[in-house]
Structure 1
């Protein structure tokens, strides 16, 4: 990588596009959960984003993507809060720091409390990026009969996060996490990858493409961490996303985490931060 590479600048328009893709992904996964049991949850368009409740203990129970089409009305926020309260669930809002600041004022006035942050990083996709495969590492798409293997790797890795950086502010039961990941990769545009080290399954990743944005998620089994697995998975997806015509790849990480360090080493720049605000039912 050249040392004179200019960092990617994220303006409000780019942040809005990324947040719109995120809201679409959350809505798609939540709707997939709804097909398993009609009436279990909801997806409500909200302030340019989406309010989603998939099922109990789901990572998709949140408000995402809002803040780029104006401040929501009190009536609209009342509707969202009632919908979550009907499930005895807190309202969790993920608010980008490039969104309208007045929304943060509105939420804090209504007893939302700041509980955490998460970082969104991205890199431009141009030309034909090289595939960087460390010795012994192979990355490929999953086969038709490998979804359960992919799920097992992701869930095991998420249940044992790295200790560096800010800790996750929420934890999920294994069964709920597995079902959520299954719903996530059922969203149109999603692709699943496996990484193998010397023939053994070591990591897993996903990529979802929408509106020129490639959204990345990945996990490495604890026994195989710091052995080039994330480098290989990132490299493969960057090349695939560029070949598919995407102009930007994005990753969400915990601030100060090993994952953030890894993606920054691979040319991703910090674009913006989301504040996580929660109101209890």
Structure 2
């Protein structure tokens, strides 16, 4: 299967993102009906998500066209939502040009790009594990380890090296989503890094990975990438995808591990919605 300019593979990639986010929000609302999360699904067109301080639409323009009234419905959906004042659409290169024209007409502007990577597992060969001094261990997260995993991942993402109980619980909810698996890396017995793998059919997705500040620069994320690739292949996946910002350490890690850039997504942001 050719990876570049492959609209069918792109649809599967966008679908796994849509499904995973919808399932996560559903689990969040089961835990707390007042959680700041919501999803608006436009049948056959795409899904629009609100998660606290973010809003983003996925899948739009790849199948049925989006009309002006649909954009107005989405903007009304997020109007007065706490913490946000803009609607964002993630558009692939396979998007209907009419949607791009519509959003430009509504004064949406380019905010940033995201890089979408894919690895063909049929051609991937595992390498011999060689952790320096045998100080590193990686394990699939069991129920009893979910708090430790959530704390580690949340701490690695934290900008001030602190983790609130609310943030840790929001992170732990990802493990309750069907198809998601967490991985915890320990260095000399101390929790140092974590990552997540989602599987839908024969497609896997790497996401939600971080390293605790004291253990950064030791190659732990590359070890977690390889371990999740290995696991996905054992589970029957034929491809793995991951999304990064362009020209970042994460993007370079994907290249090191054999991923190829399949497309860039343009993030278009609305004017302020009042």
Question: Normalising by structure 2, what TM-score?
Answer: 0.86
Aligned residue for 1:237, secondary structure, equals: helix
Q: C-alpha displacement at 1:116, in angstroms?
A: 1.3
Rounded Cα–Cα distance in structure 2 between residues aligned with 1:253 and 1:127: 22
Gaps of 5+ in 2: none
User: Is 2:58 aligned against 1:67?
Assistant: no
Cα separation, partners in 2 of 1:159 and 1:7, compared to 1, 3 Å: farther
Q: 1:143 to 1:102 in 2, by over 3 A?
A: same
Find the residue that maps to 1:62 and give its secondary structure: strand
Deviates more, 1:144-153 or 1:31-40: 31-40
1:16 to 4, 7, 11: 11
- Unaligned regions of 5+ residues in structure 1, if any? 1-5, 162-172
Find the aligned partners of 2:227 and 2:106 in 1 and give their Cα distance. 44
Give secondary structure in 2 for the equivalent of 1:185: helix
The answer for the alignment partner of 2:185 in structure 1 is: 195
1:53 to 2:44 alignment? no
1:137 lines up with 2:133 in the alignment: no
Instruction: Encode CA deviations 1:162-219: one digit per residue, 9 max, x unaligned.
Output: xxxxxxxxxxx96665444233332110000001122221110000101321110221
Shift of 1:33: 2.1
| TM-score, with structure 1 as normaliser | 0.84
- 1:250 is displaced (CA, Å) by 0.9
For the 8 Å contact 1:122–1:249, the answer to whether it is kept is yes
- Whether the aligned pair in 1 keeps the contact of 2:194 and 2:211 (CA below 8 Å) is yes
CA distance in 1, matches of 2:104, 2:167: 29
CA RMSD of aligned residues (A): 2.5
For 1:62 and 1:175, the matched residues in 2 are separated by: 25
What's the CA shift string for 1:22-81, capped at 9, x where partnerless? 111111112222223437653222353211224x32x5x321122210321122221111
1:222: how far off?
2.1
- Evaluate the alpha carbon distance shift between residue 278 and residue 175 of structure 1 in structure 2; reply closer, same or farther with a 3 A threshold: farther
Report if the CA contact (8 A) 1:134-1:228 is conserved: no
What do the CA deviations read for 1:95-147 (whole angstroms, capped 9, x no partner)? 12232232222112112221111111110112784254432322111232222
Give the total of aligned pairs: 262
